[in-house]
Amino acid sequence: MIEKALAVAFQIGLVLLLSPLVTGFNRVLKARAQTRRGPSLLQPYRDLYKLLRKGMVIPDTASWIFTATPFVLFVTTLLASLLIPMVSVAAPLSLFGGVLAVVYLLALGRFFLALAGLDTGSSFGGLGSSREMTISAIAEPALMLAVFTVAIGAGSTNLSIVAQSAQGQSWRFLAPSQMLAFAALFIVLIAETGRIPVDNLSTHLELTMIHEAMILEYSGPYLALIEWAAAIKQLVLMMLLVNVFFPFGLSADWSPGAVLFSLVLFSLKLLLLSIVVAIVEIGNAKMRLFRVPELLAIAFVLGALALVSTFLFQG
Amino acid sequence: MHFWQDSEFGNRMITLMAALVLVLQIVMVTERWIVTNIRAFALQSFLLACIANTIAYYNNAPHIYAAAVFMLLVKAILLPVMFERLVTKIEIRQEIEPLINAPISVIITGLLTLLAYVVAESFHRPDEPLSPASLGHNTLAVAIALFLIGFFMMVNRRKALTQVLALLSLENGIFLAAISLTYGMPMIVEVGIFFDVLVAGMVLAILVYRIRETFDSMDVSRLSRLKG
């Protein structure tokens, strides 16, 4: 029992601490590629600290949804992160639910965020919400298809069991269904975390913003919570990618040596994925909004193909 | 023994490349630009040459190496270069205008893939042990899918050049079926087929050029009006 609680606490701490670092690392990489010096690696931590100490302004038109959203978003995202194996094969809350719970916890957070965007009655917020929903309506089926492909291979939607069964098979990640599902999930990662071909988090240009438009009215600690939740969501999706498709190195128990080893390996995998994401961001221009569904349709087709090919190449 | 000598690894690689071939076929169905289409076809042919090469390596079969080299030369290099030249020569850079729009085409493509799977399943022997000789037997479904989707593309397109591309990708499906099921055909048949494809490609390219000269368009539906 104590061990279980420790595992939960350990992963919560790790997720909370690591997620701003991933965001910071991404910014540094992009800045360097554009030959700028860029912000410090620790800038996201400083931003969060600064925001948490500030006062905040709440619009007169806002209802309880506006105040509830940051908490709902933060808690659902954090909960989702506990369902995914991070350093040990057994995710701390894996008994609570599998990958479907992850998808729908994220969807719940997104639902509240979209409501909060509408809640203040500002036209930007409403526009941001409608765009976010348009994109996620196509991104979610793609995510589900990719995830089902993996689940069929393991015979369970529980991510711990998926990771466990994946560890046993050699050359598994070369299977076409895995590759296609990975590609689909990668596009979903780009879209859901608001990376460049889809959205640009570092701009407040009114014509293009999606995520930023929804949280335009937030300030102070609430904004800090939302920013932090966005960073955690990014980490959750990245964890899903690296630990479900490449689960080698995940420790089987909680002995310090094994945990340290798998932590190092996990950081390396995360580093690699961040570099790939940064390369995609640097190499592409932002898409027109009406082209975004086409990109996500590609993810959907890839996901569907992945699912079909588990049956196509049996044996 | 190195890991690449393990036929399990070979099987994985062949399956992976076959899946990419299928993805490229779907890219060709949805892609709107002719030049991108030609490049997708070249890449598809290159992957097929790689599959043939892998099968040849695990079976020590020199004549499959020859087939792979032919594939690479004729369909991955010669024909694509020729078609790209043709595209610049007759100054059509515009988009392919399919009869059925992209989303519905993708759905039809998916259904055709399923049909291919159903057909191929009756040839499937799951208890067959993995040996070098049985490498690539599980790609039969992909081969049939390539064949069916190639047919669909031919029907779906108006311009003569894009129909030629569809015909060639259909031929790729036949190649994959031959190479994966039977070690490929006898050498002389293989050479004959490639020569055939090359000549057909050239003749069709010239024909496309003549159609374009005569009718000011590559739209084959205009060919029905034969009166001058």
Per DSSP, the residues of B167-220 read HHHHHHHHHHHHHHHHSSS-HHHHHHHHHHHHHHHHHHHHHHHHHHHHHSS-BG
The residue written with tokens 């609570």 in the block is: A96
- Which is higher by pLDDT, A264 or B137? A264
- Our count of domains for chain B comes to 1
Within 8 A of A302 by CB-CB distance, chain B residues are 23
A246-264 pLDDT, tens per residue?
887 787 777 888 888 889 9
Answer whether residue B228 shows pLDDT above 60. no
Distance CA B228, CA B150 (A): 33
pLDDT digits (tens, 9 = 90+) for B193-222: 777 777 777 777 777 777 777 777 767 776
User: Do A309 and B22 lie within an 8 Å CB cutoff?
Assistant: yes
Q: In this predicted model, which residue has the larger pLDDT, B67 or A277?
A: A277
Cite the DSSP H helix spans in chain B: 7-30, 34-59, 62-71, 79-89, 102-121, 140-156, 160-182, 187-215
B-chain residue closest to A315, CA distance? B126
How high is the pLDDT of residue A315?
A: 46
Q: Please, what are the averages of pLDDT over each run of 10 residues along chain A (315 residues)? A: 84 93 91 88 93 91 92 95 87 82 93 92 89 90 90 85 77 77 92 84 76 89 94 93 84 81 91 92 84 84 85 67
Q: What is the pLDDT of residue B185?
A: 63
Residue in B16, B107, B176 to test binding to A, most A beta-carbons within 10 Å:
B16
Q: If you count residue pairs, one on A and one on B, with CB atoms under 8 Å apart, how many are there?
A: 59
Q: How confident is the model at residue B78 (pLDDT cuts 50, 70, 90)?
A: confident
A40-91 pLDDT per residue, tens: 999 999 999 999 999 989 888 889 999 999 999 999 999 999 999 888 888 8
Return the SS3 of A88: strand
Token pair belonging to B81: 């270069």
Q: Bridge partners of A88?
A: A251
Range of the domain at B193: 3-224
Alpha carbon B182 to its chain centroid, in Å, reads 18
Interface probe, candidates A172, A294, A309, chain B, greatest B C-beta count within 10 A: A309
Question: Which of B106, B117, B126 shows the shortest C-beta gap to A311?
Answer: B117
CA distance, residue A8 to nearest chain B CA (Å): 38
Averaging pLDDT over each range in A102-116, B46-60, B120-134, B203-217, which range is the top one? A102-116
ipTM: 0.71
Tokens linked to A277: 């994401």
Shortest distance between the Cα of B137 and any Cα of chain A, in A, equals 9
Considering only CB atoms, A312 lies closest to which of B12, B26, B142, namely B142
Q: How far is B18 from A310, CA to CA, in rounded Å?
A: 13
Helices H / strands E in chain A, number of each:
11, 0
Q: Which residue has the higher pLDDT, B140 or A173?
A: B140
Task: Give the C-alpha separation, A218 to B25, whole Å.
Answer: 47
- B122 DSSP assignment: T
DSSP labels, A217-274? T--HHHHHHHHHHHHHHHHHHHHHHHHHHS-TT-BSS--HHHHHHHHHHHHHHHHHHH
| Residue A88, phi then psi, degrees to nearest 5 | -115, 155
The size of chain B, in residues, is 228
Please report, for chain A, the start and end positions of each structural domain, with discontinuous segments joined by +.
2-312
- Phi then psi for A173, rounded to 5 degrees? -70, -5
> From the CB of residue A76, how many other CB atoms can be counted at a distance below 10 Å?
22
DSSP structure class, residue B159? B
State what percent of residues in chain B have pLDDT above 70. 83
Q: CB–CB of A171 and B12 under 8 A? A: yes
